[in-house]
Amino acid sequence: MTAETSLSLPDSRSISQHSRGGSGSGRRGVDGRDVSNRICSNNEPTFDELIDPKDLNLNEIARDCFIIPVHLVNRFLPLGLPQTGRASMSVVEVDDPQLIILLHFMTPFMAIQPIFESPLARPASLQGSMASQLLIDLLRDRPGAHGMLLVSIEQDVDYPYINYGVANRQQTNGEEWQQTARLASLERFEPQNLRYFSDHLVDVYEEAATIARPPLQPACRRPLSNKTGYIVCVYKVFDGDDGEKFERNWLYWTGARILYQCVPRCVGLRRITLHKSVSAGDKLYTLMCECSSFMDHLQEAAYIAPALRARLCGYWSIYRVADVY
């Protein structure tokens, strides 16, 4: 969907929005009649009222965009968008990239017997090399799969390493991939063999909503260079508390609005993506803010830290790319 308004930014940058086809849908008709007859019941415009008759495509979009899968529009189209019908919004239908995301969060290595720990031991380096090899094993033999290992540039964080994997949903079963990752992590990080232990949080996600900056790359999540950095925020919600009103306010409680407003231009904001876990039970939401020039402007980027810490909500840290596959 393309909007002529913004997220109330100080510099008055415009945001455009577009939605892409939902799971298994390929391309849908631009009128969206097979999706929903209303976006919300509070006198908000229908899909038909939001459609701009002119023909648009991704190559013509030069402004920042919301990307929301069609089957999640009712839940993640942000509240507070203008309700002036055709003049404010248009819809661009694009092919669903059919992506499934695997995120593996690892707590720091802790020695089983600290009293016998050598002063020359480097558990963080050992953990990083093992995490890298684990990710390679999980991506191997999966067509089109790619990923990266993220390492926090801060000290004393809850999750110093994150494995991020992307696979094709039509060729990879999410539940099987998650189970494989859990079993592989238990085997590879066996405490009795390593003399270290750590906790592992493994889950599969779908991209629920994205704020993307052109040029758009529908199916690739690889960083542009080794200068790319990420701000990662993680939230856990009890089963049943992930209601529609809660999710339609995701710009606020995730901090996405703060990030979009406050990240300096020199840092090169490229994408802010909200991921929602698809497994049963309690839900995990992971917000990833990708910046293409983060490592060249760490001092400027660090100004966002106080704003995020002041929210006292969820876990967050700043990461750099350690390996790409």
Per-residue pLDDT tens over the stretch 173-222:
999 999 999 999 999 999 999 999 999 999 999 999 999 988 887 788 99
Q: Where are the domains of the chain?
A: 1-96, 97-209+217-325
**CATH architecture classification, 97-209+217-325:** 2-Layer Sandwich (3.30)
Q: Cα-Cα-Cα-Cα dihedral of 174, 314, 292, 59, to 10°? A: 60
pLDDT for position 186 = 94
pLDDT > 90 fraction of the chain, expressed in percent and rounded: 55
Q: For the whole model, what pTM was predicted?
A: 0.82
**Residue, of 40 and 289, whose pLDDT is higher:** 289
* CB contact at 8 A, 298 and 154: no
Nearest in space to 209 (alpha carbons), one of 19, 53, 56, 41: 19
Q: H/E element holding 300?
A: helix 298-301
Nearest in space to 147 (alpha carbons), one of 182, 103, 205: 103
Token reading at 23:
């799971």
Q: How far apart are the first and last CA of the chain?
A: 32
Rounded-to-integer distance, Cα 30 and Cα 36, Å: 12
pLDDT for position 308 = 81
pLDDT for position 46 = 55
Cβ burial of 192 (10 Å; 0-12, 13-18, 19+) is: exposed
67 strand-pairing partners: 18, 210
For residue 183, give the 3-state DSSP assignment.
Answer: helix
Rounded-to-integer distance, Cα 148 and Cα 214, Å: 22
State pLDDT tens for residues 269-303: 999 999 999 998 899 999 999 999 999 998 887 78
Q: Which residue has the tokens 């459609």?
A: 51
